[in-house]
Structure 1
Amino acid sequence: MKKSKSIILVISIVVVLIAGLSVATYFILKPLFGEKDESNISPITKQLTEEEASKVIAEVNGEQILYKDFYFIYSQQAAYYGLTTEDEDSLSDDTKEILNTIKKELLTQLIQQKLAKQKAKEAGYEVTKERLDEASEAIEEMIRNMAEQMKLSSPSEAESRDFLKEARDFINSELKAMRITMDEYIRDTAEYMIVTDFMEDLTKDIVVTDEEIKKYYDEQLKIQQENPEEAAYAEVQLIQPASSRVKHILIALPEEEQQEYQNLKSEGKDEEAEAYLKEKLEAIKPKAEEVLNKAKNGEDFEALIKEYGEDPGMESEQYKDGYTVTKNSGFIKSFEDASLALGVGEISDLVEGPYGYHIIKVYEKTEAKPYTQEEKKSEIESLLKSQKKTNFMNEKMKEWESASTIVRHDDLL
């Protein structure tokens, strides 16, 4: 089971508008909301006053950058770290210093974004009606995806809640708080698209040679073989980790009990949370033991999943063959440990977790082994090309900045 509020394996989602793309993505601040790992999405951004929103915090060749442009990304960056924008006064001096550094970096990115837009316009890249329509549809798709993730987080409420409306209301409330209209948001998204096209055209002739790919593969494979614990976090993973393909029967705690456990953990009440979980697991243990006995006595595991399992992921097309579990792959530790310890065909005892009890069966196992260079050629080429593009754009941005008139007001952030 993944470490997610949702029972099924979904991507961990946060409301991260971060537009941004640092140098590695060519200084463009991408104005798209991400998704939030909550079944009840609530506002995270304080309402800006008109005066706050219209403060000029920088000028690039005479074009203004307003505080609301900065706040648009800063509030979402704060949310990524679990803060609201009203928390700053209660933070330690060290944390405030870190946030000040982040603020200055975000302003730098906004300045670079403005420069990139100016250069794209000079090169003839314009926002057309077609681009605006494309941007509008991209935002609609993002809202639909957010609604779907909310639905996955609260499957029992699928009939009683209008998740699409909730997602749309959330986006609108966040934009309103930042004094950004939907039309402005659509235009920002369209501008991101054309600047992306501009940057891609600037770097389209950059290539990676076979010799560079081989050099990277040989050097990185040696490093990953010498440091297997870190191999899973490499930019290109060259060692296929040992894995188990498993299916499981989840005897689930009620959703409100799962949520209460998570609430206690988020409040730092770990001991109280574990005691609460133990008590609630005890209440469903008789049912879990009954199902476990059936599985151990040879009853059809697939049929038991259908009859007793409460993980919607086991019914999804994506995971019809089960979950592939590797070390440090994001599953809860008890689930991961049991999955990797079992042999093919073996069934676990009851495995405790924050969602309930798991009864796990291993269907297939693979041992750790290196990927061949050919298997990873495309990934390596993509990484090296991205690095070359980044270096190219770093130099290009330095040229643009040195030839521009830039005024910034960090004290207003």
Structure 2
Amino acid sequence: MRKKALLAVMMAMVLLLSGCALVVKDEAVDNAQEIIRLGDQVFTKKDIKEKVEEQLYNMYSLYSMYGYSFDVTDPSNIADAQESVISSLKEQLALDAKAKELGLELTEAELEEVKAAAQTDRDNIVASAKSYVDDAENMDEAALTEAAEKMADEAGYTLESYIESETRTRLNAKVREYAIKDVAVTDEEIKADYDSKVEADKTSYEGKAGSWASAANNGSTLYYTPAGVRRVKQILTKFKDEDQTAIDDAKKQVTDANSAISTAQAKIDAAQETLDVEGATEEEKAKAQADLDAAKQEKDDADKALLAANEAVTAAQDKAFANLDEEVDAILASLDAEGADWQAIMDEKNQDPGMKSNEQGYAVSADMTGFDSAFVEAAMALEKPGDHSGKVRGTSYG
């Protein structure tokens, strides 16, 4: 999935950053074009491409984490990413120049902290990359780690890049500390700034609970909460692997049957159109009638296949849920026990990675479409803080 996403991003970049110039240039010369310069620091067209690709992939990953789609080839998304990247790079060049002007440097202790933080980030990305290594199940740990490290390096996630990023982050903080060291902000100014942000968010989200929830789940800092939204945590118990496979196979049968129905209907329409044409020969009509009869039979067969496929999905899901009953019942019993600690139980039992990275819980509203409808319905049915639902049968994961 990651490779496909990156390929799509790269294809989109070719279309975007080549602009309207359809004449093919020497690639090296084209990539070396200066886009941003400040003093002796330069970002080329190639640099911009790579950073826009990275931002688009990060957005794709973030949206996927919460069950949303993000089209990395959409011209609007690409334009937004390009504008954001160029703006950020301009700001970074200005901060770098100021740090150099002020002679700001990291202490030896800070450099050691940078290296430790960078190593942790590098180790985490390598651990994550292991799940994307081809033929991983046939490798020992050393070979798998080596392959994952190579994959991370090729994607630009090197230890050196993390050290550079962390160093720059800390120098930026020093520049900001210098800039505000003599600034005094009054309580009135703080309140006025806060109130202005509240009013801005109220204008944006009043009566738009779904938009607010989406923004909250995307990590936006929000200063106003409209009616109709709530934060909800869940404990997901995922289907067993074999049950998930059975469900996926049955759903593919549904997709195939729907495709067959569409194909048959197109044949029916084409044959009927020929029969309705004035002046068609008897031979043409006879052939069209035969095609129509065959297409109708084809559609009848596809309709039956769809019915059987839907029944197979239901049966596979029923079996999958039955195989979770004992485990889920035990979790519910622990939640209902006197003195139960929801957070501790969730930390131990939850199998939803998105939930683990969202300490406040998911933002939910009744009109949301990005989450499983069963989850949204159960979330909105809770009456007060601290309540929990019973079993909720999701349609996708458990």
> Which TM-score applies when normalising by structure 2?
0.50
**1:310-329 alignment to 2 at 5 Å?**
314-315=348-349, 327-328=364-365
1:203 aligned to 2:177? no
Report deviation, 1:182. Answer: 5.5
Report deviation, 1:122. Answer: 0.9
**1:68-147 alignment to 2 at 5 Å?**
68-80=46-58, 82=60, 95=75, 99=78, 102-103=81-82, 106-126=85-105, 132-147=111-126
Cα distance change on mapping 1:153 and 1:216 into 2, 3 Å: farther
1:285 aligned to 2:318? yes
**1:363-378 alignment to 2 at 5 Å?**
none
Report deviation, 1:79. Answer: 2.3
Report deviation, 1:173. Answer: 0.4
Contact 2:244 2:320 survives alignment (8 Å): no
Identify the match of residue 186 of structure 1 among 136, 160, 163. Answer: 163
The answer for the alignment partner of 1:20 in structure 2 is none
The one-character-per-residue Cα deviations of 1:18-57 (angstroms, maximum 9, x if unpaired) are xxxxxxxxxxxxxxxxxxx96x9997587x9766665444
Contact 2:126 2:145 survives alignment (8 Å): yes
* Structure 2 residues not aligned, in runs of 5+: 11-25, 62-71, 260-305, 337-344
Cα distance in 2 for residues equivalent to 1:245 and 1:269 = 36
Counterpart secondary structure, 1:71:
helix
Identity of aligned residues (%): 16
> Which TM-score applies when normalising by structure 1?
0.49
The answer for the alignment partner of 2:39 in structure 1 is 61
The answer for the alignment partner of 1:257 in structure 2 is 245
Report deviation, 1:334. Answer: 1.6
The answer for the alignment partner of 1:168 in structure 2 is 149
The answer for the alignment partner of 1:341 in structure 2 is 381
Cα distance in 2 for residues equivalent to 1:103 and 1:251 = 40
Cα distance in 2 for residues equivalent to 1:161 and 1:331 = 38
Cα distance in 2 for residues equivalent to 1:191 and 1:347 = 48
Cα distance in 1 for residues equivalent to 2:326 and 2:188 = 58
Cα distance in 1 for residues equivalent to 2:232 and 2:115 = 42
Q: Which residue identity lines up with residue 301 of structure 1 in the other structure?
A: A
Report deviation, 1:121. Answer: 0.5
**1:232-311 alignment to 2 at 5 Å?**
232=213, 233=216, 235-237=222-224, 242=230, 247=235, 249-252=237-240, 254=242, 257=245, 279-280=312-313, 282-286=315-319, 288-289=321-322, 301-302=333-334
Cα distance in 2 for residues equivalent to 1:326 and 1:101 = 25
Report deviation, 1:167. Answer: 4.8
Cα distance in 2 for residues equivalent to 1:77 and 1:59 = 21
Report deviation, 1:137. Answer: 2.9
The one-character-per-residue Cα deviations of 1:244-291 (angstroms, maximum 9, x if unpaired) are 665565444548739968x98xxx99977x997974452241352476
Please state which structure has a larger fraction of its residues in strand: 1
Q: How many residues align?
A: 289
Contact 2:235 2:349 survives alignment (8 Å): no
The one-character-per-residue Cα deviations of 1:309-332 (angstroms, maximum 9, x if unpaired) are xx996526997xx99565249753
The answer for the alignment partner of 1:365 in structure 2 is none
Q: Which residue identity lines up with residue 257 of structure 1 in the other structure?
A: T
Q: Which residue identity lines up with residue 77 of structure 1 in the other structure?
A: Q
Counterpart secondary structure, 2:105:
coil
Cα distance change on mapping 1:65 and 1:345 into 2, 3 Å: closer
Cα distance in 2 for residues equivalent to 1:237 and 1:271 = 44
Cα distance in 2 for residues equivalent to 1:187 and 1:165 = 23
Report deviation, 1:76. Answer: 0.6
Cα distance change on mapping 1:101 and 1:294 into 2, 3 Å: closer
Q: Which residue identity lines up with residue 235 of structure 1 in the other structure?
A: L
* Structure 1 residues not aligned, in runs of 5+: 1-36, 84-89, 305-310, 357-413
Root mean square deviation, CA, Å: 5.7
**1:148-159 alignment to 2 at 5 Å?**
none
Please state which structure has a larger fraction of its residues in helix: 2
Q: Which protein shows a greater Rg?
A: 2
